[in-house]
Structure 1
Amino acid sequence: MEIESLLKSACRGQPVELPTGVEGISTELFEEARHQGVASLLWHLHSRSDVLAGWPADLLDKLKQQARQEAATEMIREAEVQVILEALQEKGVDLLLIKGTPLSALHYPAAGLRPRCDTDLLVAEGDDHRAAEVFKAHGYSSFFENAGDYLNSQRSFRRIDESGFTHAFDMHRQISNASITFSQRMGFDQLDRRSVRVPSLGAAAKTLSHVDALLLACMHRAGHFAEMGERLIWLYDIHLLTETLSPAEFDVLVERAGELEMRGLCADALNASHDWFATRIPEGATDILQQGADNEASLALLTSGRASRIRHTLLMDLQQISSWRERGRLLLQRLFPPADYMMWRYQFRFSWLLPFYYIYRVLQGFWLLVFSR
C-alpha cells in the first residue's frame, strides 16, 4: 500500500519524499512503475520538477534509462508500422489503428511514453483475409487462423527482424472481445466515418475519433479489470483523452455511453483517472453518467477474479443475443474452439491430447457457470 501511495502522489504531480531506512523501496517503486507502464512517463513529466527531487540518484537513473530504451524501441516500431500500413493500403485493406499506437502518436508528449507489446488494427468486414496475406508476405506468422466471432475476434501476427527485434500486430475483426453489444454497436463503417488522421504514421494511418477512442479505452480497462486490476498506463490513456474532449464532445460521450449501456463503466474509469492523475472532468459529468447505470449488465466486468469475470461476461453476452440459434453458436464456439486455438491457448504440441483438453474445457466452463460468483 505504501508503494501505491507513493506512486499515486507522483502520478498526480505532488512532491514525493521516499521514506528513509526502508530497504529496497527504490527498487520496488521502480519495478511497480515499470509494471504499470508509467516509468518513462514519470521521468518525462517530472524529472525537471520538484516531484522527484527527493528520489535517490540510482532510482532516477533507472527511470531515465527506461525512458531512453522505450524511445528507441518506439522509433523501430513506428518505422515498421508505416511499412505495414502502406502495404495494406496498396492491397485495398481498409483499417483503423486502435488503442496504444495511435494514442501514443496523437496524445502523448513524446515518443516512447506509451509502452505496448503490439500494434492493434481494426479491419473492415471482409478485409481480414487480404490483410493476413500481406502480413505473411512480410514474413509474419500467426498462432491460429480463426477462433470464431464469439470466442476471439482477433488474430496475432509476429515477426523477428534481422536485429532480433520482435514486431507484433493484432488484427481485429471486431473492436472488442469484452462485450458483444459494444462491438456490434461500434461497427467499422460508423467508426471510419468519424475517424481522424494520424499524420506522424503516414498517409495511410487513421484512427478513432476522440470520443470513440475514450469509449474503447473505458471498455478495454473494464475487460481486463477482473484479472489485472488497475493498469495505470491504460488509465493515463483515459486521462489524456478526457482532457482532450470539448464540452460538445463530452455531451456526445454521455449520449453514446448510454446507447452502448456502459455509462457506469465510463463513470468508474473517469473517477479512477481523476483519483490517480487529477484529471479535469466537467462538473457533474460523472453524476450524469451514473444515472441509470446501476442496471447495466456491463458493470459485471468490474467484478474481481477471473472466474467471476468469465461467468458474468458469458451471461451478459447470452442476454444480449436475441436468437436461440446464435446463443447456441456462441456456446459451441466457446466450448469447442478450433484445434489450433486450443493448442495455443493451453500450450500443448501433440494433437492426440485434444480430446482431453476439450473435456477439461467443458468441465471448467460448467464449474465457472454454476459455482463461481
Structure 2
Amino acid sequence: MKDGSTEHDDISFLCLFLYADGFFGIEQVSSCHFQMIAPEKQICRVLTGRTAEWSRLTDNTRDNILAVSIRHGVHGLLYFALKKYDLLKDLTENQRAYFQRKITQQTGVELQRSHALHKVLSALAKESIIPVVIKGEALAHTHYQRSSTRERGDIDLFIAPGDISQTIITMTGQGYYIPGPLYKSHQFSCLSRKENRSGCHFDIHWRINNLSRFAKSISYPDALAESVKLPGVDHGITLCEEHALLLACMHLDGFRQTDRARLIWVYDIHLLLHSMGEDTLIYWAESAVEKQVGDACSRSILQARHYFDSPVPESVWMILKKQQPAVSFGDRFSQTNLGLLIADLQDLPGSRARSLLFLELFFPSPDNLLALYKKTNRMWLPYLYCRQIIQGVIKRLSLR
C-alpha cells in the first residue's frame, strides 16, 4: 500500500485494473470481496516476513490480532513467524503465555490425531480400502514445516462410493459413531465415542466436494491413480499437487459469498503455489479450464496473491483468463443438482444405498426433521414433511 492511500483505494484500484485487463467482468468487479481489515492485514505481513510495523502496534491491537489469528486458524503459524523474526519480545507476558498455551494444546492434539489416523488407515487397509487423505490433514504433512501449525478440526478421507458400507462397519469397530446422514451431503462424519475433545474426528467423503458444480471434478479413481505417498504416515496416500491445488481452490471458492472463509485456506493455496514449478502450474491451469472450474481457481489464487503475494507466472494467468470453451449441454447438465443426483444413483452400490439417499433428501427421520427446523412439538411434522419434500424437489431436481 502506498503512503497516504487507503486500503479501500488499493482494493478499488486492484478491481479496476483486473477489469481493464480483461480478467474480471463488470459483474465480478461489483462483487469484489477482498475486504481485509487491519488484523488480517498485519497477520499476512508477518507470515510473509514483512514485519516492519509490528513493533509499533499497541498491546490492544496485538490482542485483536491474536484473537483474529485464532479465528482464522493461523495462530500457530503466527507464533512461529514471530519467534523466527525475534518479535515475541514485543508481546505482553499475558499474550506470550496465552500463545504458548495454544501451541502446547495444538502439539498435544497433533500427537493424538497422528495416532488416530494411523489406527484408522491400518484398519481400513485390512479391509482392502484405500482412502486418500485430503485437505488440511494431508497438507499438514506435505507442505507445512510443522504439521501442528495447520489447524484443522477433523481428518478428511476420500473413498470410493462402493466402499461406504464397509468403511462404516470399520469405523464403528474402531470406536466411532456416525451422527448424521450418509449420502445427501456426499460425506459423513465419524465422531469419537470417547468425547475427548482431541479433534480426532473424521469426515469421510465419497465425492471430492459437496457442491454440484465441483463434486465430480476429481473422481476417486483419478485421485488414486495420481496419488502420492503421505510422508510419515503408514498406509497414507494423498492427492498429487495438481489435484490438491484444484481442491483447495474449489473449497475456498465455495465460501466466497459467505463470511466463513478463513486465512488458513488461502495460506494452503499460497504454499501449493510456492512449491509447484511453472510447467506444473500450466498443466494444472489447463486441467482446471478443461474441468470448467477455471474461474473458481482464478478467484482463489487471486486471493492468495492479494493476501500473501503468492507467485503466479503470467503464463498461468493467460490460461485462466482465456475465454472459456463452449460447454456442451451434457457437460453443463452434469454439473447441475439434477445431473449430480442421477450420477449419485448410478455410482452408489445397491438399491439400499439409493433408497437411503432418497429418504435423506426427502423423508428424513422425525427427530432429524424437528432438529433441522428447530422445533420440539411433533404436531409440526406434517407441515415440515410437506415443506421438506417441496424444497427437496426444487433443489435436487433443478438445473442449477
- TM score, norm. by length of structure 1: 0.80
SS at match of 2:200: strand
Is 1:178–1:220's contact at 8 Å kept on the other side of the alignment? Answer: no
Amino acid across the alignment from 2:200: H
Shift of the 248–157 alpha-carbon distance from structure 1 to 2, 3 Å rule, reads same
For the residues of structure 1 that align with 2:224 and 2:258, how far apart are their CA atoms? 31
Q: Give the superposition deviation at 1:261.
A: 0.9
Unaligned runs of 5+ in 2: 1-36, 328-332, 346-354
Q: Please tell me whether residue 216 in structure 1 is matched to residue 247 in structure 2.
A: yes
Q: Please tell me whether residue 140 in structure 1 is matched to residue 176 in structure 2.
A: yes
Is 1:125–1:173's contact at 8 Å kept on the other side of the alignment? Answer: yes
Shift of the 359–161 alpha-carbon distance from structure 1 to 2, 3 Å rule, reads same
Q: Deviations over 1:36-66 (max 9, x none)?
A: 0000011123312056664444334433332
Q: Give the superposition deviation at 1:268.
A: 1.4
Shift of the 242–20 alpha-carbon distance from structure 1 to 2, 3 Å rule, reads closer
Is 1:121–1:169's contact at 8 Å kept on the other side of the alignment? Answer: yes
Q: Please tell me whether residue 288 in structure 1 is matched to residue 303 in structure 2.
A: no
Aligned match of 1:17: 54
Aligned match of 2:27: none
Amino acid across the alignment from 1:193: A
Aligned match of 1:310: none
Amino acid across the alignment from 1:176: N
Aligned match of 1:80: 116
For the residues of structure 1 that align with 2:373 and 2:360, how far apart are their CA atoms? 14
Q: Please tell me whether residue 26 in structure 1 is matched to residue 62 in structure 2.
A: yes
Q: Give the superposition deviation at 1:103.
A: 0.7
For the residues of structure 2 that align with 1:315 and 1:189, how far apart are their CA atoms? 18
Aligned match of 2:203: 170
Aligned match of 1:195: 227
Is 2:363–2:389's contact at 8 Å kept on the other side of the alignment? Answer: no
Shift of the 368–19 alpha-carbon distance from structure 1 to 2, 3 Å rule, reads farther
Aligned match of 2:186: 153
Shift of the 337–27 alpha-carbon distance from structure 1 to 2, 3 Å rule, reads farther
Q: Deviations over 1:118-157 (max 9, x none)?
A: 111111231110010001111211123434xxx3110111
For the residues of structure 2 that align with 1:239 and 1:130, how far apart are their CA atoms? 36
Shift of the 184–2 alpha-carbon distance from structure 1 to 2, 3 Å rule, reads closer
Amino acid across the alignment from 2:54: E
Shift of the 4–247 alpha-carbon distance from structure 1 to 2, 3 Å rule, reads closer
Aligned match of 1:42: 78
| Count of residue correspondences | 343
**Larger RCO (CA under 8 A, 6+ residues apart):** 1
What aligned pairs does 1:251-262 form with structure 2 within 5 A after superposition? Answer: 251-262=282-293
SS at match of 1:170: strand
Shift of the 347–112 alpha-carbon distance from structure 1 to 2, 3 Å rule, reads farther
* Residues 274-283 or 97-106, more deviating: 274-283
For the residues of structure 1 that align with 2:150 and 2:371, how far apart are their CA atoms? 28
For the residues of structure 1 that align with 2:344 and 2:305, how far apart are their CA atoms? 43
Q: Give the superposition deviation at 1:247.
A: 2.2
Unaligned runs of 5+ in 1: 297-313
Aligned match of 2:23: none
Q: Give the superposition deviation at 1:3.
A: 2.3
Q: Give the superposition deviation at 1:24.
A: 3.6
**Percent identity of equivalent pairs:** 24
Q: Give the superposition deviation at 1:284.
A: 4.0
* Residues 55-64 or 235-244, more deviating: 55-64
SS at match of 1:177: coil
Aligned match of 2:107: 71
Shift of the 164–177 alpha-carbon distance from structure 1 to 2, 3 Å rule, reads closer
Q: Give the superposition deviation at 1:354.
A: 3.7
Aligned with 1:58 (options 94, 97, 107): 94
Structure whose alpha-carbon radius of gyration is higher: 2
Amino acid across the alignment from 1:156: S
Aligned match of 1:338: 364
Amino acid across the alignment from 1:189: P
SS at match of 2:383: helix
Q: Give the superposition deviation at 1:353.
A: 4.4
SS at match of 1:167: coil
Is 2:130–2:159's contact at 8 Å kept on the other side of the alignment? Answer: yes
Q: Give the superposition deviation at 1:215.
A: 0.2
Q: Give the superposition deviation at 1:195.
A: 0.2
Amino acid across the alignment from 1:157: C
For the residues of structure 1 that align with 2:186 and 2:208, how far apart are their CA atoms? 8
Q: Give the superposition deviation at 1:35.
A: 0.3
Q: Please tell me whether residue 236 in structure 1 is matched to residue 267 in structure 2.
A: yes
Amino acid across the alignment from 1:67: I
Q: Please tell me whether residue 184 in structure 1 is matched to residue 216 in structure 2.
A: yes
Q: Give the superposition deviation at 1:11.
A: 3.1
For the residues of structure 2 that align with 1:158 and 1:322, how far apart are their CA atoms? 27
Amino acid across the alignment from 2:204: M
Q: Give the superposition deviation at 1:197.
A: 0.7
For the residues of structure 2 that align with 1:138 and 1:265, how far apart are their CA atoms? 38
Amino acid across the alignment from 2:75: A
For the residues of structure 1 that align with 2:221 and 2:91, how far apart are their CA atoms? 49
Q: Please tell me whether residue 266 in structure 1 is matched to residue 297 in structure 2.
A: yes
Q: Give the superposition deviation at 1:167.
A: 2.5
